[in-house]
Amino acid sequence: MAPGWLRKASFYQVYPQSFHDSNGDGIGDIPGVIAKLDYIRNLGVDAIWFNPWYESPFRDAGYDITDFYKVAKRYGSNADAKRLFAEAHKRGLKIILDLVVGHTSLDCKWFKESEKPERNAYSDYYVWSPIAYYRGSGKGDDYFISGWGPRGAFLANYYAVQPALNFGYARTEHPWELRYDDPRCRATKDEIIRIMRFWMDMGADGFRVDMASSVIKRDDGKKKTIAFWREIRRMFDRDYPENVLISEWFDPATALKAGFHIDFCYNSFWRAGYRPEKPDPNWPQMAMAETHFTDPVPAIGPTFELIQKTRKKGYIGFYSGNHDSARLRYYGSEANTIVKLAMLFTLPGTPFLYYGDEIGMRYVENLTPKEGGERRTGSRTPMQWDTAFVNAGFSTAAKEKLYLPVDDSPDAPCVAEAIKGNNATYDAVTRLLALRKQHVALDNDADAELVYLRHRRMPIAYVRAKGNEELLVILNSSRNVVSVRMPKYKDAEELLSQSVRMAPDGTFTLDSCSYGIYQIRRTNRRRA
Ligand code: NOJ
Ligand code: CA
């Protein structure tokens, strides 16, 4: 059983170091987020996902953890976390934490114990090859950092500073590999369960699991990994039935089988229709997007196939962007961004809005990479609250002390102006979120059917349906004016639109970058 609130829930992602700084040290913090909870609530979202806030040397912006049970000093304390849970819950908001399950920091005390030649409780927490200069294949889940110390080489999971936690191998090939069902591998899983219980018992409402598919190594077909997570899901069903398990797996069909309620979809098709100002072939996320610029429409079909395939099994998480991708606004004009947001909030599954995307914050070019962010750094700049204030109201610190510079372009958007009614993206986001609340056909589990899709051409149209309600969504993210005749929908009633005209015969004319949402049928009209 999935928690009932997921039927309607939309999520907001907060990158804590860049959201709001309460004490003027230049880095966002938990009390800063507490001060902005009303803003988040008023957007109309239901839950907040936080990037990791645990103690860390920040060589991968906190995805390299030294103490999983402790909030990093720069964000505040565990007492602040507890206060955040309470304040969020008072406002009907859920708080989802990031669970980095596949690795720790090199500086983690578990690793420091594990690297000692004398056997101790942490010896098997990591994978050690006694061959000092062993490198593995260097690919996938077989990438060793050689020349390390008395125990040889260790298995890394992402960057070299992130040693992989040892959950065993589905198939062993070397004497130092433990099988996934070896009792010596159980300790790491128990540790993960302890971490999850620790935060949920304090008030957290679930987790977004980092690299969820990376736990058990050499697991072709992922059978053992699926069983691993199913056990955790049983714990949720039994002890935390209202809490959510979200995976960063990027394979919803498999992840939902493993018991995750939501898995992210690699949604490069948002970027359909526009080329980035500066395409960067060295950035994989960008390269992926590129394929869809030249041929945008084909990404939609497979996405709907995936939606059908995973129906009733859980939710696909679609996102406007995140801390690993370029900002949505990077790929198009304001109007184009709005069309993609309209799609985000009308597709089935669970929408995730990245902080700042609601006002159209930009990817900031040419920043010095920060904390392992590399090309991702430009998507991680401080939230722009009010450009009339120093540092756009993010922090009172001196400019040089900020975590990252604030976008200083003269037309940088900000929340204060948006709230005054001067930001079309914000208007669209708040209206779309309100519409989701009013219409069951926009529920995350409502049906979805593609009703218009032609090779290489906009528009696209789909129908959402649930109970007695059916809605039509029609979108054009291209530069061209397009039109389509759909007599079946000639009596549809407009709910929300941007630059679409509908003629009495059911011809929809869509200007460059436009969308429309229409009610086709609604019996049993609910009364307010
Ligand atoms: C995925 C996270 O989203 C990313 O930011 C991080 O660098 C890697 N996993 C490693 O934990
Ligand atoms: Ca601070």
What's the CA-to-centroid distance between 127 and ligand 1, angstroms?
Answer: 20
The vertex-51 CA angle with 198 and 444, nearest 5°, equals 90
What tens digit of pLDDT does each residue of 233-265 get? 999 999 999 999 999 998 999 999 999 999 998
Mean pLDDT in residue range 146-163: 96
What's the CA-to-centroid distance between 34 and ligand 1, angstroms?
Answer: 25
Mean pLDDT in residue range 335-340: 90
Q: Which residues are within 8 A (CB) of 294 and not within 5 positions of it... i.e. 6 or more apart?
A: none
pTM of the model: 0.95
pLDDT at 229 over 50: yes
CB atoms within 10 A of CB 360: 24
What tens digit of pLDDT does each residue of 263-289 get? 998 654 444 333 344 444 434 344 334
**Measured from the CB, is residue 211 less than 6 Å from ligand 1?**
yes
Tell me the pLDDT band of 333, cut-offs 50, 70 and 90.
Answer: confident
416 vs 292, higher pLDDT:
416
The pLDDT assigned to 64 comes to 98
For ligand 1, mutation pick of 59, 210, 214 (most atoms within 8 Å of CB): 210
What tens digit of pLDDT does each residue of 363-378 get? 998 999 999 998 889 9
Tell me the pLDDT band of 331, cut-offs 50, 70 and 90.
Answer: confident
Mean pLDDT in residue range 395-402: 98
C-alpha–C-alpha distance, residues 176 and 456, integer Å? 52
The pLDDT assigned to 418 comes to 98
pLDDT at 342 over 50: yes
C-alpha–C-alpha distance, residues 59 and 56, integer Å? 8
The pLDDT assigned to 451 comes to 95
β-sheet bridge partners, residue 97: 207
Closest CA to 272 of 27, 3, 453: 453
The pLDDT assigned to 266 comes to 67
**Measured from the CB, is residue 324 less than 6 Å from ligand 1?**
yes
What tens digit of pLDDT does each residue of 457-467 get? 889 999 999 99
Buried b (16+ CB within 10 A) or exposed e, 168-201: bbbeeeeebbbebeeeebebbbebbeebbeebbe
**Measured from the CB, is residue 159 less than 6 Å from ligand 1?**
no
Mean pLDDT in residue range 296-319: 84
